[in-house]
Amino acid sequence: MGEHSREHLSRKDSIWIQTGREGQELDAGSATGKSLGVFTSGGDSQGMNSAVRAVVRMGSFLGCKVYYIKEGYQGMVDGGDHIIEASWASSSGIMQKGGTVIGSARCADFRQREGRLKAAKNLIDKNITNLVVIGGDGSLTGANLFRQEWNSLLDELKATDRITDEQRKSCSSINIVGMVGSIDNDFCGTDMTIGTDSALHRIIESVDSISTTASSHQRAFVLEVMGRHCGYLALVAALATEADWVLIPECPPDKGWEKTLCKKLSAEREMGLRLNIVIIAEGAIDIEGNPITANMVKDLITNELKYDTRVTVLGHVQRGGKPTAFDRILGARMGAEAVLALMDAKPDTPACVVSLDGNQTVRVPLMECVERTKSVQEAMNKKNFQEAVRLRGKSFQNNLATYLRLSKLRPPKVMCDPTGQVCSSGKKLAVMNIGAPACGANAAVRSFVRFALTKGYTVLGIHDSFDGLLYGDVKPIGWTDVHGWTCQGGSLLGTKKCTAARYGLDKVAEKLKEHDISGLLIIGGFEAYHSALQMTEARSKYDAFCIPMVVIPCTISNNVPGTDFSLGADTALNEIADICDRIKQSATGTKRRVFIVEVMGGYCGYLATMAGLAGGADAAYIYEDPFNITNLRDDVIHLKNKIIQLGVQRGLILRNENANANYTTDFIHQMFSEEGKGSFTCRKNVLGHMQQGGVPSPFDRNYGTKMASKAVDYMITKVEENTTEDGKIKSCTKDSAVLLGMCRRQLLFTPLEELREITDFEKRLPKQQWWLSLVRPLLRIMTKHSNETYRADAILTNVDLEDDDNA
């Protein structure tokens, strides 16, 4: 693709992935003279506006003329006022809005050659030879056909004297780059499409709200969600809400599913639960390919179980509302990369789609992805559902596998006491939280408890961290004890910011031995990692530490080594983005105001940087990216220019709480207030512990569930491998004390001893952080700091999508 040449891959089930230029050095104005157009087509999705904004601002940074093409392909065909030049200011204040501010429409005219002739003429009149299309596979396929026909369209326009020879020559080729905007996440070749995360938030909010009324009246609810051809939304929503049953097109239920469903719902009620939730995708089918509707399921439950059952069809509410922090960031990163891909393209460069691979933006061949997406439906039409699931990719497969495991879990009746607690297996696994509370911890505890119980282990809950261990607050956790934990924030086990050494390793070892603990799961932040490392290093002194130990990183700061993402960080980002939206909204009608907002994170600038990108901040000050008084002065000048010359009325500055000991939040507020006199007023906000609260996001619920599932399997394997003849556990190898983290697209267990070397214990930071080189430069470009370079290490790779264990 352009300068980044690639070989062709012949293997059928693989798609070549080309790492994008995100973070590479760029020169401002390097594409002066080029023009590009951006439009949204097909169904709208949250996050499209962020992508449009990024296209405009990256294009402007490079010196391009950027045009909005309003109302999708229809606007391209109609021309005139539907194709207007975009400016930096015109893209301000749109990224937090849902839908698409430039409009989207179905276009029958573009399906005809005459319509495409009109579209080509309108683009040539504006000298637009580069297009960014944001839409689904239909919109992308239409753009590719347009590109293929381009030369013949120009020939016809020239033959009928609708364009000149000079226009024919200057616009001899057109390049296309796509971004997938679809709430269904049904496009093969990307981990997540723009809008999916926001749609999941709408679904989760609805299910959480319905659950309270359902429990009050002991009702069953059947919720229909979107997904005519793809069950991703239904599947992930079921995982995130502890739904009793899910029906999706890719994995239809076996014959006799009606009886199985009723049996399961009845069993839930017998265990004392007061509600049942069934989630169904609108395209759900049975094994014969016959539709299964929400009303069919309702009638089944009502007639067979006599439960009061209601149906809720969520419909277009799933497309509505403002985008989540993830979709804003995704749109921004994809939009910037789309412009870079166009600037790299040559006349013979195939159309590509910018997508997400782990934490990296990549470019994938458009038509290969479209064909693979179509092959999913073809497999379902042939009733080859196993192939359809495989074609959806590893992310879908892993979500489905986790759900199927959870849905089949039952405590073995012969090993249960009346409370539902599995008894007398002889081995005990313990779980505890260490560090500040973060959303997702409870989902991980629930998953760990239920998986361990079904394996015949007793699970001990250690309450309030080491306080509970040392002072006797250690209790068995039963099956129903953790019901409903997935949707709750904070730490229901109780937690405390402390390390094992602070309490005395000898005392901790004594208590672990007293409770005869065979394996320990620690869920928490840097203190959790540090405590586990301290206990690992003391194994030669204390046999009680010679047991399998697994750490699941759970902290809003995202400052634990060995993982790209920590549990809780996604929820915190959404909380910060929401608060910043409200702060900016508070100034509606108040002219020229700049807000200085302090966020948490310790010495880690992840929250400040990502929230800055999601909230459209003008700057984000962090410890890892040193700044001085000159930088602060430059930002004041930037804000003055933005407000006075461009007419943008508000500014936003984020500061990490430990960004600089001298340039405090108060100092920056006072400086900006003084230097901004006559141009803007300034207000300060310290967000504090609001960032740790809230309801867990779908990502954190799902992530915690899958992490704990993987941790149980790993821990039990190590327990069984290291059980001596007398039944004792003796596990001293370095791979028996690990941290489970997500690295790019894989969930990996990394020995704690190896992580020691890449940790800054003084500042409680990993020595390398992926987002610093990829996201920081983009943040500056999006806010028109034109003196910034855009740099990082980028590698051209090809990846077999089936080889990655996508979390």
State the residue for tokens 């981990």.
191
pLDDT of 295 reads: 97
The 10 Å Cβ neighbour count of residue 743 is 16
Q: Could you read off the pLDDT of 307-327 as tens digits, one per residue? A: 999 999 999 999 989 999 999
Which of the two residues, 301 and 11, has the higher pLDDT score? 301
Distance from C-alpha of 266 to C-alpha of 806, rounded to nearest angstrom: 35
* Beta-strand pair 360-365/309-313: unpaired
pLDDT of 801 reads: 32
Q: Do residues 789 and 25 lie in contact, with contact meaning Cβ atoms separated by under 8 Å?
A: yes
Q: Could you read off the pLDDT of 412-438 as tens digits, one per residue? A: 554 445 455 544 456 999 999 999 999
Among 190, 188, 113, which residue's Cα sits nearest to residue 145? 113
- Report whether pLDDT(73) > 50: yes
Q: What is the CA angle 21-330-339, rounded to 5?
A: 40
pLDDT of 798 reads: 32
- Report whether pLDDT(774) > 50: yes
pLDDT of 788 reads: 46
- Report whether pLDDT(787) > 80: no
| Beta strand residue intervals within 70-190, DSSP E | 83-85, 130-135, 175-180
Distance from C-alpha of 608 to C-alpha of 653, rounded to nearest angstrom: 9
Distance from C-alpha of 653 to C-alpha of 618, rounded to nearest angstrom: 6
Q: Could you read off the pLDDT of 629-662 as tens digits, one per residue? A: 999 999 999 999 888 888 888 899 999 999 999 9
- Report whether pLDDT(803) > 60: no
Q: Which residues are catalytic?
A: 184
- Report whether pLDDT(584) > 90: no
pLDDT of 271 reads: 86
pLDDT of 14 reads: 60
Average pLDDT on 497-506 reads: 95
* Beta-strand pair 245-247/65-69: unpaired
State the residue for tokens 């109302």.
71
Angle in degrees, 0-180, between the axes of helices 665-675 and 629-640, rounded to the nearest 10? 50
Average pLDDT on 751-757 reads: 96
Burial state string for 226-256 with b = 16 or more CB within 10 A and e = fewer than 16: bbebbbbbbbbbbbbbbbbbbbbbbbbbeee
Which of the two residues, 562 and 426, has the higher pLDDT score? 562
- Report whether pLDDT(380) > 80: yes
- φ, ψ (nearest 5 deg) of residue 489: -85, 180
Lowest mean pLDDT among 270-279, 297-306, 338-347: 270-279
Q: Could you read off the pLDDT of 202-258 as tens digits, one per residue? A: 999 999 999 988 888 889 999 999 998 999 999 999 999 999 999 999 999 999 999
pTM: 0.92
pLDDT of 648 reads: 83
Average pLDDT, the chain: 90
- Report whether pLDDT(26) > 90: no
Residues 6+ apart with CB under 8 A from 214: 220, 221, 274, 275, 276, 277, 310
Q: Could you read off the pLDDT of 461-483 as tens digits, one per residue? A: 999 999 999 999 999 999 989 99
Q: Do residues 136 and 360 lie in contact, with contact meaning Cβ atoms separated by under 8 Å?
A: no
List the strands of the sheet with 517-524, edge to edge: 474-476, 458-462, 428-434, 517-524, 549-553, 737-743, 746-751
pLDDT of 747 reads: 93
Structure tokens at 513: 């031995």
Confidence of residue 5 (pLDDT cuts 50, 70, 90): very low
pLDDT of 191 reads: 85
Average pLDDT on 528-548 reads: 96
